[in-house]
Structure 1
Amino acid sequence: MKKWFAALLSIGLIIGFSYSTGDAAEAKTKVKTYKNCKALNKVYKGGVSRAKSVKNKGGKTKYKPYVSKSLYDANKKLDRDKDKIACER
């Protein structure tokens, strides 16, 4: 009985963790669009990057950007140098 319960519990945990991803939680929340870089940098000091692997073309920055594809896409107009990082500082 104990072995059966342990096997059932482990299968349930594996299935539960396989369905919980960061992208699903991000997709459920409404993405905010900011008016300008000053407003965006109040919340995200380093700006917003589209992907983790994106490199800054503009030179040295002080802060690391927050990585979010959906947030970047909503505020794409704020990326002046088109390096896939909006409002980097």
Structure 2
Amino acid sequence: MKKYISALLMGTVLIISFSFSTMKVEGAAKVKAVAYKNCTELNKVYKGGVSKDAKTTNKGGKTKYKPFVSAELYKLNEKSDRDNDGIACEK
């Protein structure tokens, strides 16, 4: 009987901890898309700039930071992508 209760309790704890960990991941994936007035403002939040997708590569020289990937955020700040490589305000 003790083994049954112990197994039931452990299973319940695992299920509860798994559900909380998946909630944190889902919440972290949401980003508030903001149109920044210039690259200085955007780079305060996203040091490497903003990329429209993960496969986009920088046309210019070397970059110091990896860009944040968000199609929605890129679309709002597309005016700041001067070299039209799909990465706005890359550093």
TM-score (norm 2): 0.68
**Percent of pairs identical after alignment?**
47
Partner of 1:46: 48
Note the residue ranges of structure 1 that are not aligned, 5 or more in a row: none
For residues 47-74 of structure 1, what are the alpha-carbon distances to aligned partners after superposition, in whole Å with 9 as ceiling and x for unaligned?
Answer: 1123333211123223322333332232
Q: Does 1:65 align with 2:78?
A: no
Q: Would the alpha carbon gap of residues 18 and 39 (structure 1) be closer, same or farther in structure 2, given more than 3 Å must change?
A: closer
Query: Residue 64 of structure 2 aligns to a residue in which SS?
Result: coil
Instruction: Give unmatched runs, 5+ long, in structure 2.
Output: none
TM (norm. structure 1) is: 0.69
Larger Rg: 2
RMSD (Å), alpha carbons: 2.4
Deviation at 1:17, TM superposition (A): 2.8
- Within the candidate set 15, 25, 29, 1:11 is matched to 15
